[in-house]
Amino acid sequence: MKAKEGVVELLNQVLKAELTAVHQYLLHAAMCKNWGYERLHEHFGHLAHEEVSHSSGLIDHILYLDGTPDVEHLDQVGTGRTVEDLFKADLGFEREDVELLRKAIAHCAKVEDFTTRHRLEEMVVDSEEHVDWFETQLRTIDQVGLDRYLAEHIKK
């Protein structure tokens, strides 16, 4: 199927963000495991798996639209020296992802590509849930303190 104007370009921007997220969440999972925070390791691993699924779906959809998926480029992976730094980097990343997805959704609506729009709408729901999760974790750290927060994430 032939893509509508600008759709493949936007999908490749979203793909770039999703592939970056895979790398970022895998790194954060490994860091949390190294620090002994098993629950956070598992959560970041789950997020990475979810982003792999999004990436795979985007690649399939770009190919369906007779486009060429750009899997060679990534944005800068955000990281930090503490769990709180990781959460702040991830929150910023997810907020940017939501903004990009909304831009792509609006464009798809404008060019009447409803199939792509639907796919992106499903993805933005996940990204908004990620924003909420990171905001909640940072708020909890503010309320109970970093040490108490981390103590709850050492074991499963």
pLDDT in tens, 84-132: 999 999 999 999 999 999 999 999 999 999 999 999 999 999 999 999 9
Domain annotation covers residue 102 = yes
Please state the rounded mean pLDDT for residues 61-69: 97
Residue 32 has pLDDT above 90, yes or no: yes
Domain annotation covers residue 110 = yes
3 state DSSP class of 127: helix
Cβ atoms of 74 and 19 within 8 Å: the answer is yes
Domain annotation covers residue 156 = no
How much is the pLDDT for 15?
A: 99
155 falls in which pLDDT band (50, 70, 90)?
confident
Cβ atoms of 101 and 124 within 8 Å: the answer is yes
- Domain holding 147, by residue range, is 7-151
Q: How many domains does the chain have?
A: 1
- pTM assigned to the model: 0.94
How much is the pLDDT for 77?
A: 96
How much is the pLDDT for 152?
A: 92
How much is the pLDDT for 94?
A: 98
Tell me how far apart the alpha carbons of residues 64 and 74 are, in angstroms, rounded to a whole number: 22
Residue 36 has pLDDT above 90, yes or no: yes
Indicate which CATH number applies to the domain containing 82: 1.20.1260.10
Domain annotation covers residue 52 = yes
Cβ atoms of 93 and 19 within 8 Å: the answer is no
Average per-residue pLDDT for the chain: 97
How much is the pLDDT for 156?
A: 65
What radius of gyration, in Å, describes the C-alpha atoms of the chain?
Answer: 17
Domain annotation covers residue 1 = no
